[in-house]
Structure 1
């Protein structure tokens, strides 16, 4: 009996232990294969069936991590053995999936969104050490789950403003359109949705971003060493990827706030083969304008909408087609006599294919159109002023995976541009004192070829280097002025004209753009990186404002306006703490910018057929240091970013009347030396969270009049040196509270979000106006867009 007791205990323990072990799935057909077993799969949402893009697949036994692609797919190469795969995605429960790899095979993983537990659990939506191990510099990807934790702006998640919370990225004001990245202008950023460029990404002059967050999967900003497959802009690339629909079940979402509302549906057109996602968003903001104290604004009206359609066809394991359509429209009737409107339309078709285990292809074609108009219906000299741009392009690149840490990417792209700078059309309904006028259309072609090689030498050193060759042609038909030598370009110095036929080459530019970075790992959790980046930009935004406005004119490089050339040097240190709970980085950079657009004093930029008479070439330089600390774990998560930077310009010409500030360096319109952002999200309970954002920055430069003088009976302001003064410093606090309610099918199911913008009512100046007072220089008056606390309430559900 004494001998049987240990045996019985052993058997009972063994049975109990065996019953607690998860069952291992045998993957693949056993054909005796021992090495290079290929395991592929797809990760989806358990409820909606949507692909989870950017989820991580980890093999702890091998310390290998893979990220899912735009179709939720992944691929692993393993030896014949037993493994436990770990699947993670932000906001979803982690899955541990035991397998026995015996041959090539495929698995399908469905993940459930989790109710946040108060215990400290780390949930990473990407490789948590990617910021350390990769050679990427200045590349930040935010998933929509991360962005949705920020306080909403007027009831909505704002993608553009979310990017402005990152180091090195800023905006010039509260209603500012576009971004200023590392000392660059708003036109130096390529913002693309589903691969198609978007030329005005805002609603209501920048108060809203014109991208519906429910149709967006993730957003990546490149601001340092930009991959060679991107070209055409000098400062950054903002790549916005749409979300595809479910391939096996229908669902949708609805959001209502006191400023706007949106609805979306998605599901299979053909189950497991063809999916569709559609979204529409519209505003009802006129009640808000009517509540404002400014008589011009409360007599105004505003409307906007945007829509999306995404059709995805994963026709096979190795081939997928995705069509994306995007549209947006705005109109703003100022005091009932002038209406400003603008609209975007874009189509893109993408094909992704795999040719075997090592070679893959991505090809995309797109068409984008941007139009804006001003309609005057005051009853006196009524007119329409129209302008726009059309952009058609194709691009393709292939990736060859030489080894696990060794790959080459190569390809090319082409685009055809047509710019209509402006056309003035008098009203035909009455006698008008305005004559019709049309500025000559512009035509250009851009093309480029590129390659990039990424490889690692052991665990310590990683290198990424590449080369891009850009080519540009400025084409006819066009009539071009010739100017006298040794004189500034003006109406008086024009001596002749030359006409070019349709499609005739007027002038060409080209250039080589090397790019590269190197990473040296100090340990598993820290590394040093250095990089260099050269970019060419052949299109410019002609504007006398600090932010994008609907009346701005896009201008192609010609024989007078040369392409912008940007050289950037970067150095960074990256360190993660406490098992990747904290991410930290410090980056320094220096940028040299050639052929920046500046304007002559008193320049007239509207309806200019010879705008070269109003422009002067300038040099630019920018430098700065960026600090970033992010916390991924616990009840309190968020990040802190601080940037010290300078953005300077200098104009030196042979002609004294064109000099600005005597040829000395001066601050650009968006030079803001200090920029601090604090982001916090606190999980109060399973269903309640509180978010806060605090921002502080130096006031942007402005030019004040120094005096006034009388000219022919008119009082005129005298301006001396440009951008010598500054607006008051900017600072603002935003708060929001989110409640996730589950009422078992009752009407209040879903998410309720209450937010307050500008909690303490700071009157941050967006611009200054000047009034004339007798016996004194013109006096400045401050215009604040958000001068009081602004509450909003939104309600969203999924169905």
Structure 2
């Protein structure tokens, strides 16, 4: 009873709290200030925040007779001198310019309310935060830069702002004319009391335009079980429907029947060509530096292009504009550290995050010379700075630098590869309805393979092989908000590519370096322009349509081979070489890429969605291995290789239950591929001057059903997904010209992700994955030639490896922070592959060692046992 009385007293005392008085004494820095400077000083010295109309003369100066006085005094002076009205709402002060009286009545035009939604603790913009107008039962979400804009008839409205993991805010705002309303949202503490479901005042995902889209917040990913405690963005999205991998430790991921090179992976808008470390065991994304992750599997907006199957859009943190902080962790494989803080408080900030593995440090402790000389490690460096010039202009500069290094074990071998990216962005508001983003991007992927003589050949000192692909990109993107029911996106972009397929250098004693093989570099330009319009028709129908035009020019300086019969083939000899000068167009391709999506709401909780998109891909990865490797070659469309094309159509049913606590979706899709490249049987792809002679072009198809049941709130959260899918290829010259399963065809794929909040200190998570074994090509027969057993392969991918399944568990312990201390820490304890399943990575065939007349199948497993892990994390 006593507890109930105390709770009641606390509740009623909160109700009778009143905002800080306008009679509070404040002191200005000087007697003459601009209106904007006065408002900033009043904001700093009080608990009030200010929202003001765009018509307020912020740069006008006003002279006071004194520097100190009440807030009311200074506001009254501004109101009197510049005909400004002000009104207090809770702890906000709204300023509006008084309108001139007109002798004739005019119809009131819509007013626009716009601004940025930010994190109150860090100052970072929130992507995808909901701004819902209660009276109109509609709203919008912030864009990828945290900006929103709503045009509504004049009146007083209740705005409800919500974002996962943040306290919901409700604001009563009179909107008589266009005004800026920037809002800070406070993160919410985890509540473990009884969950009471109430009517939702946000926009359910069923009402949003997007389909075939997945957004996983980084907080959820950080709680999921991970291999050796390494939180991994790529492994996490592989647990979503329609996303798979060819095997344990394989780099990249496959989406709806697409190969790994058909995914456009963006880090702060810069393309990343290799998304994995340690040959696929970990991703290149440091979880501490990641702010937002979004995966498009279909219905891809017109602003994206260049890949056939998906877009993975990863955004880095901007840095804390409020205060300095540290965050990091120590694990079994690597350690990481992030530092962030304001350069100028509330105006500019920085973020620097580093991560490095240290397996090589432990190998040096071995008594075995071959082992202690082995080098094996990876590192990442993420950087970002941003500067708020004024309310209409913001600058962002970010970079990523990552590399893997192997070496030392065999003949002084050294093998390293990595990505470098840089992004410079300028956000500019032309007005409250027109938002723009101008971007300059640099991206480079390169690898190097080298070894030095170890005494076996006195003449040879060193061999080195280098390859790279580099692009430089300029783009301009615009968003126009003409009305509450309409949003228009448009823009242009241009990319310049440099492809270096391979360059070999040999250094010998007392001789200058030689280049016995230097493959022709290729250069290309890819340009695009797009338009996209999203329009709501009443309460039930939302339509999105768009068009992207793309063009690709393969240009010189380069030599091009010509073949007999005009067709590159190992059987056709080179009959001529044509030289093209710098900038001269060798081959030109272009095409239109239409996009279309429709959302029909059966009710507020149920919707049907349909989408169609066509995409062109002008650069492709050439590989004759099941899983991509760092030395695979990116090659552009040219006179012999056509750009790949895909048409995808998808239909989905979406339903929310129990006031958006549960989400269910079912989607079916069909994809038709054209001009996909594959390799001939027995192809030689490495350092081949005539690479086009080893390639074939064909078509493909992929189709499937994806089911997803997701729980968003409560002690238990997580999702259950199931994918039923097929993906096949048809290439003349392979498999008797008939369709055959692609390397990543897996008809059945089931994933279960669970997270349980035990109490305020303990949290438990579990992942379970099951999928059909991948296709493989067994020998159909064999023959003996001069005592050597030679296998004979016929049909491609005619068999499968055994099915794959795995269970992972983890427990997170986070003690409550001590009062007054910013230091927080947590422990993660995990077990990967709990029941020690020997999942097959591949199956190969060889003669039996005891009886060579017998051919035996051998299964290779990457992990054949359970793998425990422990990680210590901290924030300050």
Q: TM-score, normalised by structure 1?
A: 0.91
* Counterpart residue number, 2:283: 209
Contact 1:741/1:748 (8 A) holds in 2: no
1:536-578 deviation digits (Å, cap 9, x = unpaired): 1110101112222111011111111111011111111111111
Residue 415 of structure 1 aligns with which residue? 495
Structure-1 separation of matches of 2:111 and 2:595? 35
The 1:131–1:45 alpha-carbon spacing in structure 2 relative to 1, beyond 3 Å, is closer
Write the distance in 1 (CA, Å) between the matches of 2:593 and 2:636. Answer: 20
Question: Which of 558, 578, 585 pairs up with 1:498?
Answer: 578
Q: Cα distance, 1:130 vs. partner?
A: 4.5
For the 8 Å contact 2:505–2:513, the answer to whether it is kept is no
CA distance in 2, matches of 1:279, 1:299: 29
Contact 1:468/1:514 (<8 A) preserved = yes
The equivalent of 1:508 in structure 2 is 588
| Alignment correspondent of 1:362 | 437
Tell me the residue number matched to 1:779: 856
Root-mean-square deviation (CA, aligned residues, Å) is: 3.0
Residue 453 of structure 1: how far off its partner (Å):
1.2
Aligned-partner SS, 1:86: strand
- Which position in structure 2 is the counterpart of 1:346? 421
- Shift of the alpha carbon at 1:27? 4.1
Contact 2:343–2:350 under 8 Å retained in 1: yes
CA pair 779-436 structure 1, distance change in 2 beyond 3 A: farther
Within 5 Å, give how 1:627-666 maps onto structure 2. Answer: 627-652=707-732, 659-666=733-740
Q: Deviations over 1:440-461 (max 9, x none)?
A: 1111111111111110111111
Find out whether 1:92 has 2:166 as its counterpart.
Answer: yes
1:75 shift after superposition? 4.3
SS in 2 for 1:720: coil
Q: Secondary structure at the match of 2:565?
A: coil
Supply the distance in 2 between the matched residues of 1:561 and 1:594 (Cα, whole angstroms): 12
- 1:588 matched residue in structure 2: 668
Of the three residues 548, 572, 579, the one matched with 2:659 is: 579
Distance 2:762 2:852 in 1: 59
The Cα shift of 1:221 comes to 0.9
Give the distance between the partners of 2:783 and 2:515, measured in 1 at CA: 32
| Match status 1:28 vs 2:97 | no
Match of residue 9 from structure 1: none
The match for 2:772 among 673, 680, 698 is 698
Matched, 1:756 2:831: yes
Counterparts of residues 587-626 of structure 1 (less than 5 Å): 587-626=667-706
Give the structure 1 partner of residue 473 of structure 2.
Answer: 393
Question: Which of 148, 152, 167 is matched with 2:241 structurally?
Answer: 167
Q: Which residue of 2 aligns with 1:194?
A: 268
- Between the aligned partners of 2:788 and 2:406, the Cα distance in structure 1 is 32
Cα distance in structure 2, aligned partners of 1:99 and 1:211: 40
SS across alignment from 2:274 = coil
Q: Tell me, what secondary structure is at the counterpart of 1:217?
A: strand
- 1:180 pairs with one of 254, 260, 264: 254
Q: Check if 1:19 corresponds to 2:16.
A: yes
- 1:279 maps to 2:359: no
Q: 1:414 to 1:130 in 2, by over 3 A?
A: farther
Question: In structure 2, how many angstroms separate the alpha carbons of the residues matched to 1:291 and 1:184?
Answer: 43
Q: How many residues align?
A: 777
Unaligned runs of 5+ residues in structure 1 are 1-14, 653-658
> Are the structure 2 counterparts of residues 333 and 778 from structure 1 closer, same or farther at C-alpha, using a change threshold of 3 Å?
farther
Specify the SS of the correspondent of 1:785.
Answer: coil
Q: Deviations over 1:650-673 (max 9, x none)?
A: 112xxxxxx211111101111111
- Secondary structure (helix, strand or coil) at the match of 2:692 reads helix
Closer, same or farther: CA 641–17 of 1 in aligned 2, 3 Å: closer
Q: Is the 8 A contact 1:27 1:105 kept in 2?
A: no
Correspondence for 1:765: 840
Cα 1:24–1:54 shift into 2, 3 Å: same
TM alignment of 1:669-748, pairs within 5 A: 669-712=743-786, 714-742=788-816, 744=818
1:440-589 counterparts in 2 under 5 A? 440-485=520-565, 489-490=569-570, 492-589=572-669
Aligned to 1:655: none
The structural deviation recorded for 1:56 is: 2.9
- Once residues 277 and 176 of structure 2 are traced to their aligned partners in structure 1, the CA distance between those partners, rounded to angstroms, is 55
SS at match of 1:263: strand
For residues 176-325 of structure 1, the aligned pairs below 5 Å read: 176-286=250-360, 300-325=374-399
Alignment CA distance shift 1:478-1:76 (3 Å): closer
C-alpha distance 127-478 of structure 1, shift in aligned 2 (>3 A): farther
* CA–CA distance in structure 2, aligned partners of residues 27 and 64 of structure 1: 25
Partners in 2 of 1:297 and 1:523 — Cα distance? Answer: 64
Deviations 1:286-341 (A, max 9, x none): 4787999x999998531110001111112121211111111101112273433321
Deviation for aligned residue 1:502 = 1.7
Q: Cα distance 1:437–1:107, how it changes in 2: closer, same or farther (>3 A)?
A: closer
CA distance in 1, matches of 2:201, 2:670: 29
Structure 2: how far apart are the matches of 1:295 and 1:650? 50
- C-alpha displacement at 1:760, in angstroms? 0.8
Higher Cα radius of gyration: 2
1: distance between equivalents of 2:449 and 2:745?
30
Deviates further, 563-572 or 770-779: 770-779
Tell me how far apart the structure 2 counterparts of residues 707 and 300 of structure 1 sit (CA, whole Å): 40
Query: Is 1:798 paired with 2:875?
Result: yes
Deviation at 1:42, TM superposition (A): 4.3
Instruction: After superposing the two structures, state which structure 1 stretch, 418-427 or 507-516, moved more.
Output: 418-427
- CA-to-aligned-CA distance 1:61-120 (integer Å, 9 cap, x gap): 332344334554444556665555433333333344455556635354341441332322
Distance 1:434 1:17, change over 3 A: closer
With normalisation by structure 2, the TM-score equals 0.83
1:333-390 per-position Cα deviation (integer Å, ceiling 9, x unaligned): 2734333210111111111111112222121110111111112346356521111111
Correspondence for 1:155:
229
**Contact in 1 for aligned 2:151/2:483 (Cα 8 Å):** no
**Residues 468, 45 of structure 1: alpha-carbon distance in 2 compared, 3 angstrom cutoff:** closer
**Given the superposition, is the C-alpha separation of residues 486 and 202 from structure 1 closer, same or farther in structure 2, using an over 3 Å criterion?**
closer
Q: Aligned-pair distance for 1:709?
A: 2.7
**Alignment check: 8 A CA contact 1:118 1:685 kept:** no
